[in-house]
Structure 1
Amino acid sequence: MKSKEVMPKPFRKNMIPFIIGMLFIPVVWFIIFYLIVNINSILMAFKYIKGVDDNGRLIYAWGLENYKNMFKAFTSVGYSELRVSLINTLKYFFLNFLIIIPLTYFVAYFLYKKVWGYKFFRVLFYLPSIISGVAMVIIFKNMITTYGPIYTLLKNLFNYEMPPLLTNAKYATNTIMVYCVWVGFGVNTVLYQGAMGRIPTEVIEAGKIEGITWWQELFYVVTPMVWPTLSTTLILAITQLFNTSGPILLFDTGGAFETSTIAYWIFKNVDSGVYEYPASVGFFFTLVSIPIVFLFRWLINKIDPDVEY
């Protein structure tokens, strides 16, 4: 017969109070700082302005009118700021998920391998996270402005006159995305380097003896051993699917030139005194994102390599 591990009786006796004690604080925190805080927003998501009475006061009604207007905005033929905001939000999300995070991971690996000048590049990549975002945006805007250094360089070398990038709907969002890549290496680089620094040197040396290449070392040795850190950043990134806003406020575009995002669109409407419609949009995308996040987390856990060190 197989021996069955049984928890000692004193531990079994105190297990339930211990579990209750551990769960009590986070549950209370969730109730106070999420449910109670957001209950009014959830109720407003189902309230809409029906009209105005004889005294000029707004008449409210309950229903799904806000959601009907939202879907009309998404499917309308003409220009829709809400649709543009959704498209831009997805652009920023996939930029982070498919470009910035992989690039950050590669950069962290080469810094971990102590390539030539790694100390300088470590500071260079982390510097935008230390400097104020306002200062970084000012530097970036001055670099790309008309008659700025990049404009002058292109003019002198190729006789190409660079168009205004932030005041043209064709270029504005893509220009801000370039800025996001420029400043997006900081925190995750430190996290990945810290995880890689914990890998035993004996494992890396064994790989060298076997004659593996750098990309084999990265994908078959390093990645499985830092997977908990990498998967955590991926899960956190997927939670921002509809919340990724981009630095729209810092660039002070006001959402013009088709630069708005869902988060900025909600902020702008609330700031102008409109609450019900933005609450509906926010509530809708929350409901959509929850199953996506849990599904992604399940997939990540399914491919979790069983590595201990």
Structure 2
Amino acid sequence: MNLNTIFYKDGPWAFILLLPSLIGFLIFVLFPVVASFFLSFTSWDLLTPIQWIGFENYINLFNDETFKKVLWNTLYFTVVTVPVGIIISLFLAVALNQKIRFIKFYRAAYFLPVISSMVAVAVVWQWIYNPEYGLLNFILSLTGIQGPSWLSDTKWAMPAVMITSIWKGLGFNMLIFLAGIQGISESYYEAADIDGATWFKKFLYITVPLLRPTTFFVTVMAIIGSFQVFDAVFLMTGGGPARSTSVLVHYLYQNGFEYFRMGYASAMAYILFFLVLIFTFIQFTLQKKRGEV
């Protein structure tokens, strides 16, 4: 049976079975993407007719001091949370790759925050950060340190949100790294043992180099996720105090659904899209030069 026969026999049924997903993709993904691109060149408040204004939204964005602040906050969030989260996740994966008792329980425990609702996570961490009866300030008081008002202090609010975000995402990255580590042949480590290599040298010269494709994937996903952070900011601080924790997606949400500046919000969405695209392209280019993509 040749390919043409297979296509004409099974093609219509395959199309029918894929049709619900295709319709969902067209309505809920492709159409909003195209519509938002068109809206980014317009002024629209959901109530009055759409007005074409060309590149005015994009020009206003780069003259908007609030936009510059939330862009800086987003970059700051990304630069800190991505490397810290990856490093901690990698060491956790190495630790949880050992043959110890209750290893499955430990793996499940570290992965639990990933599947937990962000609402529940935010409530728990808001209690931990509470300046009067929070667990964190209580522990600091035992050492004679007076803890700050974490979520209402412009200096500490963003680090507090970062810690929560890193904690919630550790399990996912850990799981990916764990799968990568288990795909490394034991013969490398056995040869290193014969040569008398320490665990650190085995980690540095065997585990890390052979995990580069996995690290690349984790890094790209982490960068994309960090640029799109919203729920932690929205639930824990609302972007405050004084916009010290407001990020691009949060400001986009406010413009679109609080200020009803849909064109302005759409322009901001495409700025975010191009930022993610640029960072992802840089990552692919660097990996391609190393011959790993």
TM-score with structure 2 setting the length: 0.80
> In the TM superposition, what is the alpha-carbon distance from 1:71 to its structure 2 partner?
1.0
- Residue 218 of structure 1 pairs with residue 203 of structure 2: yes
- 1:255 corresponds to 2:246: no
Q: Are the equivalent residues in 1 in contact too, given 2:239–2:250 (CA < 8 A)?
A: yes
CA positional deviation for 1:111: 1.9
User: 1:207 Cα deviation (Å)?
Assistant: 1.2
Distance 2:101 2:23 in 1: 48
Alignment of 1:169-180 (within 5 A): 169-180=154-165
- 1:65 corresponds to: 56
Q: Any stretches of 5+ residues in structure 1 without a counterpart?
A: 1-10, 50-55, 74-79
1:47 and 2:42 are equivalent in the alignment: yes
- 1:127-147: per-residue Cα shift (whole Å, max 9, x none)? 322333222222221122112
RMSD: 3.2
1:151-176 alpha-carbon deviations (Å, 9 max, x no partner): 23333441x43232112222211111
Contact 1:93 1:244 in 2 (8 A): no
Instruction: Check 1:113–1:107 CA distance in 2 against 1; reply closer, same or farther (3 A cut).
Output: same
2:82 counterpart of 1:102: no
Say whether the 8 Å CA contact 2:74–2:227 is kept in structure 1.
Answer: yes
Shift in CA distance, 305/114, structure 1 to aligned 2, threshold 3 Å: farther
Q: Any unmatched runs of 5+ in structure 2?
A: none
Pairing 1:286–2:273 present: yes
* Residues 253-276 of structure 1: CA deviation (Å, up to 9, x unaligned): 322212211011111221122201
What letter corresponds to residue 121 of structure 2 in structure 1?
M
Aligned residues: 274
The letter of the residue matching 1:70 is: L
Higher helix share: 2
Aligned to 1:36: 31
**Whole-Å separation in 2 of the counterparts to 1:117 and 1:248:** 35
Measured against aligned partners, the alpha-carbon deviations of 1:180-215 in whole angstroms (never above 9, x if no partner) come to 222231011111112211222222111111122223
- Choose 223-232 or 175-184, whichever is displaced more: 223-232
Q: Does 2:148 align with 1:153?
A: no
Query: Residue 213 of structure 2 contacts residue 292 of structure 2 at CA under 8 Å; is this kept in 1?
Result: no
Partner AA of 2:273 in structure 1: T
Structure with larger Rg: 1
Matches within 5 A, 1:110-125: 110-114=95-99, 121-125=106-110
Residue 196 of structure 1 is matched in structure 2 by 181
The yes-or-no answer on 1:264 pairing with 2:264 is: no
Contact persistence 1:108–1:193 (CA under 8 A): yes
CA offsets 1:53-96 (integer angstroms, 9 cap, x no match): xxx956723222112211111xxxxxx33222112211221223
Aligned to 1:52: none
Separation in structure 2 between the aligned mates of residue 169 and residue 68 of structure 1, nearest angstrom: 29
Instruction: Report the CA distance between 1:103 and its aligned residue.
Output: 1.5
Q: Identity percentage over the alignment?
A: 25
